[in-house]
Each structure stands twice: as C-alpha cells, then as structure tokens.
Amino acid sequence: MRGRALALAAFLATGASLLAACTVGPDYHRPATEVPPAFRGIDPAAPAEPGSLGDVAWWRIFEDEALQSLIWIALVENYDLRLAAARILDARAQLIIIRSNQFPTIDATGSASYQRIEGNPPSLIPTENFFPQASVNLSFELDFWGRWRRATEAARANLLASGEARHVVVSTLVADVASAYFELRTLDLSLEIARRTLSTRQDSLRLVTLRQQGGVVSLMDVRQAESLVNSAARDIPNFERQIEQTENRITTLLGRNPGPVARGQSLDRQISLPTLPPGLPAALLERRPDVRLAELQVVAANAQIGVAKADFFPRITLLGSIGVGGGVQAGESFGPLGLFGIGPTATLPIFTAGRVQAGVESAEARHQEAVAHYQQTVQQALREVSDALVEHQKRQDSRREQEALTEALRDATRLSNMRYDGGVTSYLEVLDTDRQFFSAEVDLAVAQLNELVAVVQLYRALGGGWAL
C-alpha cells in the first residue's frame, strides 16, 4: 500500500510539472493610450512638476477639524462604502473558489449497509447481510492548458478591481462631504449677512419713520424703507430652509438619520494651499482609482479568453481511491479487504454546434469592450483634470472681481446714506445701493463657495481623496 501511495505522489508531482508546459490565451499587455506631456492650460515649456495635488492626503487639504470629523465618520458608516466592502469580500471568496480547482479534491466516504431476509415458504433460510466499507477518494483535473490558471488570473483581477471600486467610492464620498460642508458654511454666511442686513434696515426704518413724523421726509421714504426690511426678512427663511436640507444631505452621507451638523472654521479659512500643482498626465494612470479599475477589468477579460480557448482541448482528470471494507453474508464473515485504484479520464469535445468557438469570440468581444472602456476612462480623466484646472482658475478670478465689486458697493452704500442724511438725494438712491450691496455680499459668498468646490473637483480629478 505504501508503494502505491508513493507512486501516486510521484504521478501527481509529474503532472504538476507538466501544468506549466502550456497556457492558452494571450498574455496581458496594457492597452495603448495617447497621453499628452502636460494638461491643457499648463504651459508645455514650463518645468514639469513631479508632485501633484492628488498625492496630498485629504486631511491636509481640508484643514477644518469639524470637516475632518465628518469625513472620518462617513468613511466608517457610509452605506455605499459598506456595500463596496461587501463586494470585496465576495470577490475574495470567488477567488478562493476558482483557485481551488488547481488543487486535488480529496473526500472520504463511508457506508454500512445491513440486510435481513425472512418469509415463507419454511424452506427459505433467514439471511443476514452486513457490508461496512470506507474509502478516501481523489479527483484532480490536470490543468495542462491553463484553464484554471487563467480563471484564477481573472478572479484575482476582479478582486483587485473591487478594491479599486471601493477607492472610487471613497474618493467620491470625500469630495461629496467636503462640497456639501462648504455649501453649508456658505449658507451660514448668507444667513448671517441677511440677518445683519435686516437689523441694519430695521434701524434705518425707525430713523426714517421718525423723520417722516417730524415732517422732514415723505411717506414714500417710509414705504421704501419698509420694502427693504421685508425683502431682507423674506430671504432669511429661504436660507434657513436650505441650511436644514443641506444638513440632512450631509448626515445621509454619514450613514445617519437627518440631524444637525457641527461647524468649524469660517468659509474663508477652509483651504489655504498656496499652489495646486496638477503633476504629470502619465502619473494620472497610476493614481486615479477609476483608471486602475478599468485596467483591471481589461486584465480579467484578457484572462477569460484563455479560459474560453481551453475548451478546445481535452480535459484530463485523475481519479483515485483508497479504501477498506469487509462484511458478513449468510453468517459467513470476510475481510478486511483493501482497495486501491487510480487512473485518468479524458474528455475531448468533438461536436458542439459552434458553442466553443462562439465562447472564444464572446470573450474576445468582451476584451475589446474592456479595452475601449479603459481608453475612454483615460480620456475622460484627462478631460476632467483640464476642466477642473480652468474651473479653478476662472472661479478664482471671478471671486477676486466680486470682492472688488462688493467693496465698491459697500462704499457706495455708505456715501448714499450720507447724501440722504444731508438732504442731497432721495431715499430711492439709498434703496438701490443697499439692494446691490446685499446681493453683492451674498454673491461673494457664492463665489468663495465656487472656488472651494473647484479645488475639491480638481483634487478628485487628480485621483486624490481615497488614500487612507
């Protein structure tokens, strides 16, 4: 028995050495993509910067501790991330299942059948039969053509792709929480401006009312002052509504029920980066998780071609069994008996009505689709970075112009009030400049928000925000 076991072990070792002899299907090569030397909007003659904003950890970009706390909570409790983590576990289990086909399957079986026969006529002698037996069975498909190696390669790529898919979710989540928080702080500032404006206009209304009662101004000035108060009071509930709805959106991103959100630094102190270097376009292929995800899908599709082509070749399975048994029959016992058997079986497709060839063509088509998707993803990534660069630059220019406009209207409001108090002009001029100044202050808050969101978009487009 020992000699046969050694023979079996030698046979398996020989078979294992033959498995690497031939692996059908193409080996993976990264699809060709056209990557420019620099992003659009960057001077090609300028010295290249190897560093990139996308390499900076998100907690160094978003310095507000309240925002950092919100992002950390989201990274732990967000339901989209939980779903992505579950998909990783599933892909890991699928890899183990598929990889197990490269190894022998060994199982044990046992049985103990008992039979007793009695009855008429009397000449029939009662009979008892008892046959216990046990065996260890082996089944091993010799992977001569690399069917299971290619399938394992595809499963491993799918596992890595599920990890990159989670990184995509993380990057999106960090950007969404940051953008929503900046929007919330903008609404807070707008509400503060509206309340301050309302208080100022109420004071002006009281003064104008006193002057009208003294016969200095007409009732028209009072009505115009009242319109200013009413317009400011009307805007406050709208800002309060938007604040509460934005808080609900943030808490949902955090995986929690709607509720209040803690605040931190003011809107103008959220991001204080001196420069926003984009880095080199070629590095984007390694940094962005969606690009790496698309490439891993190409790897998996490429391996599936080999799995499909392996169906053209014989499937050779090694079957073996070692067992022991005995029994009792009609009062006579026998055994123990030993059992040893081993031998290969081969299955060769002869006629499949084109099924095998169609399987190869289908795998090749899916590979072509994955390649096109990868190239499209790279192109889309380059476009998103270029769009984000021009977005940030122009939003920054717009914010600076809005700051100048706001300061000019602030001074115009001061001068119009002085002119009105001096009796030089009517209250209509005060009304007009005050409205313009209020709108300019709110527009300045929105301009600051747009610039911050542009930084978030650029950071995400460069592949930042996912590294933990």
3-state secondary structure of 144: coil
Chain mean pLDDT for the chain: 85
Residues 382-385: contacts with CB within 8 Å, 24+ apart?
382/35, 382/36, 382/39, 382/281, 382/284, 384/457, 384/461, 385/39, 385/278, 385/281, 385/284, 385/458, 385/461, 385/462
* 3-state SS class at 110: strand
Is the pLDDT score of 383 beyond 60? yes
Q: Say yes or no to pLDDT of 273 above 90.
A: no
**Phi/psi-derived region of residue 405, left when phi > 0, alpha when psi is between -120 and 50, beta in every other case:** alpha
State the pTM of this model: 0.83
- Least-confidence region, from 11-20, 182-191, 254-263: 11-20
Neighbouring-strand partners of residue 447: none
Does domain 20-104+143-314+356-461 sit in CATH 1.20.1600.10?
Answer: yes
Distance of alpha carbon 384 from alpha carbon 54, whole angstroms: 13
Reported as a single tens digit per residue, the pLDDT across 307-363 is 999 989 888 888 888 888 777 766 667 667 788 888 888 888 888 888 989 999 999
pLDDT of residue 178: 94
- Round to whole Å and give the CA distance between 22 and 105: 22
For residues 218 and 212, the answer to whether their CB atoms sit within 8 Å is yes
Average pLDDT over residues 206-220: 78
Residue that wins the pLDDT comparison between 375 and 36: 375
Per cent of the chain over pLDDT 90 is: 43
Domain map of the chain by residue range?
20-104+143-314+356-461
Residue % of the chain over a pLDDT of 70: 89
The pLDDT value given to residue 49: 67
